[in-house]
A and B are shown apart, each in its own frame.
Chain A
Amino acid sequence: MHPLWSNIFRKNPAEESLGAFLGTVPVFCEANKKDLVLLETLVHVRHYRSQEIIFEEGDPGSGMFIIRSGRVLIFDRQPDHNEQELALLGPGDFFGETTLTAAIPRIASARTLETTELVSFFRSDLQEIAQKKPMSANRILLGLAKVVSERLIAVSRELRMAKTTLERISSSSAQTE
C-alpha cells in the first residue's frame, strides 16, 4: 500500500498517545486515566537536535525530563573541562526528578546524543495542580516519592558496600604494614 494511505488508517506504534506514554513512566505509576489526561495538558513536548545542551550543572532546576525518543548523556564537568560520563539514558528514562519538589540547582549537566524528543514536567505546574486537583497531585507525588525512595535505598546500599570495601582495604593495608 502507498505509505500515505497506510499512515492514515494505522497508528504508528511509536506515535502512541502522550497520555499512554506518560502512563509507562514510573513517576506516574500511581496515576489513573483521568490524571494522565490532566498530565497531558501540563507537560511540554520539546524537540532537541543532536548534541544540544538540555541543562548545565548549577542551572536553576525546575522540573524533570522524560525521554520519549532519542538518547541523552548525563555528565559531570571536571575542573580540567573534561566530561565525565555519569549515565546514558534512552527512551522511557527520566532525569531531574529531584527538582520537582525542591528548588535546588542541577547537580549534573545533560546533553542529547541524537535527535531527541523530551517531555518536560515542571515544579510550578505540579504546585498549581496541588492546589486545584489535590487528589491527582497526591497520586503523582506518591509515585514520585516511590521513585525517589527506591533510588535512596539503592544509593544507601551502594554506600554501605563502598564503606565495607573501604574498610576491608584499609584493614588489609594495615596488616601488610
Chain B
Amino acid sequence: MAENNHRRNITQKQFLLLFLIFTLSLATGLTLFSSISTITAWARAATGGLFLPILLSLILAFLLEPMVSFFEGENVPRTVSILVIFLLLAGLLALLAVWLIPHLQTTFLSLKADFPRYLARGMEFVNEFQANLQNRFPFVEHYQISTKIRTFSESLFAEILLQTPKSALRLGSLLVLVPIFSFFFLRDGRRMVRTCLNLVPNRYFELAHDLYFTVSYQLANFIRGRILEALIIGIVVTLGLSLTDIRYPLLLGIFAGITNLIPYIGPIIGMVPGFLIAFVDLGMGGQFWWIVILYLLIAQILLDGFILIPILISKFADLHPLWVIIAIIMGGKLYGVVGMIIGVPIASIIKITIIEIRHYRSSFQLPDVPLENPRLM
C-alpha cells in the first residue's frame, strides 16, 4: 500500500511537471506563432505598396537598358547616360501631358454621360439574344443574364470613375517612386546582382552565374517584345479607328493595347467596347464591319499573329490556355485588375525561367549576345 502510495506521489509530481512543461510549451508556441504572424503581417503591410512600383520600375529598367548601353558604348558614363535618357523621357511625357490632358478631360466627361447609353444598348442586345435563345431552347431556364451583367459592369464602371481621382494620388506616388527605383536599378543593377551572386556557394557559383545571364537575357527580350507588341497594336487600332466616325478611338486603342498583354482572352476583351460603341453609335453599317475587320483581321490575325508574335516573342513564352486562365484568376485574386493584366506575363516569366534552366542543364549554350537580334533593340 505504502509502495502504491509512493508511486502515486511520484506520478503526481511527474504530472505536475508534465503539466508545467505542456503549459509552457503551449504558451511558447502560441507566443511564437502570434509573434511570427505579427511579423509577417508587418512585413506584408510594409511591403504592400512596394510591389507595383518595383515591378513597374523593373520593367522600365529593362526597356531603357538598350538605350543606356547604346550611350555607354559611345563612351558616355553610365550615370550621365541614364540621366540624359530620363530627361528626354520626362520632356516627352510633359509634352504628351500638355497635349493630352485637356483632351482626356473632355473624353472622360463625355464618357461619363455616354456610358449608361452604351450599357443600355448592350443589355438590350443581350436580352434579345437571351429571348432568342429561349425561343429556340425553351428548356433554358429564365435566367437574368442581363441584370447580372448590368449590375456588374455598372459597379465596375462606378468604381473606375470613383477610383480615378483616388488613384491619381497613388499615381503621383508612382510617378515619384518609379523613376527613382528604375534609376537605381539601371545604375546599380549589375552591382546588386553581383552581390547576390557572390552569396552562392563556390561549387554552384559558375552555374548560378551562367543561369542568371541566360534567364535575364531571355526575360529582357520577352518584356521588351511584349511591351512593343502592345504599343504597336494600340497604335494600329487607334489609327484604324480614327478613319471611322467612332468616338473615343484613342481610348479604345489604349484599351486594346493593354488587354493585348493577356494572350487568347485579352484581345477578345479588348474588342468588346469597340464593337459595342460602334454598334450603338454607327449601327450595322459599313463602318461597323470595317471596325470588325480592323480588330479581328488586321490587328489580331495579320499584325499580331503573322508579324509581331513570330518576330518579337520567342516560342518559349507560349503558355497553354489553361495556364493563362489560371494566371488571370490568381493575379486577379492577389492584385485585382492590375493583377489580371500582369498575371499572365509573370506566368510566362516563370515558364521562361524553368525552361532556360532545363535547356542550360542539357546543353549549357549561352545565347549569342554579339549576334543579338537588332530588331529588339
Binding site for B on A (CB under 8 A): 41, 44, 46, 48, 52-55, 59-60, 62-63, 103, 105, 120, 122-124, 127-128, 130-134
For residue B33, CB closer than 8 A to chain A, the reply is no
**Cβ of A53: which chain B residues have Cβ within 8 Å of it?**
203
Sample 9 A-B pairs with CB under 8 A, ordered by A number. Answer: A53-B203, A60-B206, A62-B364, A63-B206, A124-B214, A127-B366, A127-B368, A131-B369, A132-B72
Binds A, one of B157-165, B194-202, B292-300, B311-319: B194-202
Indicate if the CB atoms of A120 and B369 lie closer than 8 Å.
no
Complex: A122 Cα to B364 Cα, angstroms: 13
Q: Which residue of B lies closest to A44 (CB)?
A: B198
Number of residue pairs A-B, CB distance < 8 angstroms: 63
List 8 tightest A-B contacts by C-beta distance, closest first. A60-B364, A124-B213, A127-B369, A62-B210, A130-B370, A103-B365, A62-B206, A122-B209
Indicate if the CB atoms of B209 and A124 lie closer than 8 Å.
yes
Complex: A122 Cα to B372 Cα, angstroms: 19
Q: Beyond A44-B194, A60-B364, A62-B364, is A55–B370 a contact (Cβ under 8 Å)?
A: no
Known: A44-B194, A62-B210, A105-B364. 18 other contacts (CB 8 A): A41-B190, A44-B197, A48-B202, A60-B206, A60-B207, A60-B360, A63-B209, A103-B366, A120-B205, A122-B206, A122-B210, A124-B209, A124-B213, A127-B368, A131-B69, A131-B73, A133-B72, A133-B73
**Cβ of A133: which chain B residues have Cβ within 8 Å of it?**
72-73
| CB of A8, distance to nearest CB on chain B (Å) | 26
Indicate if the CB atoms of B72 and A124 lie closer than 8 Å.
no
Indicate if the CB atoms of B210 and A132 lie closer than 8 Å.
no
**Cβ of B366: which chain A residues have Cβ within 8 Å of it?**
62, 103, 123-124, 127
B159-213 contacts to A, CB under 8 A, are 190, 194, 197-198, 202-203, 205-207, 209-210, 213
| CB of A60, distance to nearest CB on chain B (Å) | 3
What is the interface size of chain B, counting residues whose CB is below 8 A from a CB of the partner?
25
Indicate if the CB atoms of B72 and A127 lie closer than 8 Å.
no
| CB of A96, distance to nearest CB on chain B (Å) | 9
Q: Which residue of B lies closest to A127 (CB)?
A: B369
**Cβ of B207: which chain A residues have Cβ within 8 Å of it?**
60
**Cβ of B73: which chain A residues have Cβ within 8 Å of it?**
131-134
**Cβ of A41: which chain B residues have Cβ within 8 Å of it?**
190
**Cross-chain contact of A131 among B209, B213, B372 (Cβ < 8 A):** B372
**Cβ of B197: which chain A residues have Cβ within 8 Å of it?**
44
Indicate if the CB atoms of B209 and A62 lie closer than 8 Å.
yes
| CB of A173, distance to nearest CB on chain B (Å) | 45
| CB of B10, distance to nearest CB on chain A (Å) | 53
| CB of A57, distance to nearest CB on chain B (Å) | 14
**Cross-chain contact of A46 among B205, B364, B368 (Cβ < 8 A):** B205
Complex: A130 Cα to B190 Cα, angstroms: 16
Indicate if the CB atoms of A130 and B369 lie closer than 8 Å.
yes
Complex: A143 Cα to B198 Cα, angstroms: 27
Indicate if the CB atoms of A52 and B202 lie closer than 8 Å.
yes
Complex: A170 Cα to B211 Cα, angstroms: 51
